Amino acid sequence: MTGTDDRLVIADEELTSRLIVGTGGATNLKILERAIVASGVELATVALRRVDALAQGSVLTAYMAREAFETAWIKDAGIATASDTAYAMELGCDGVLLASAVTRAQDPVRMAETVRKAVEAGRLAYRGGRIPHRLYAEASTTFEGIPQVLGPDARP
């Protein structure tokens, strides 16, 4: 994405993608597979309804262990489209976890690719150091130093 100096590290694993895709809400596993590939993710979550009931205890234990330690700030709810994803990254999230935005989209594969690019754009914007929000517009050029194009004796 932007070089090795900007890697996301989770549990001592370096990830180049800051997007994590979940499988919840997927109705077609073949389309889900294509969407995950299109998203470019290195980490995907599996909906518990897709996991054997005996394995659910292990998943819960792993989840509680993760919660016990400090982790990266991952936005994991309320993402409906690519602009939400970009905004979360601009605010400084370390990554985005989403499922429904992709799995319930009209075209899950295209949406997966779109949110991948939005994560990258949002992270670049965050690292670029956005200007503060303003209540009113403010001219970026002052009147001082503007050349007089009509000449010194001309009247506007």
Active-site residue (options: 21, 23, 75, 97): 75
Separation of alpha carbons 145 and 15, rounded Å = 49
Pairing of strands 74-75, 95-98: parallel
Question: Is 75 considered catalytic here?
Answer: yes
Residue 97 phi/psi, 5-degree rounding, is -110, 125
Residues 19, 95: contact at Cβ < 8 Å? yes
Query: How distant, in Å, are the alpha carbons of 3, 40, 54, 90 from that of 118?
Result: 17, 12, 37, 10
Active site amino acids: 75
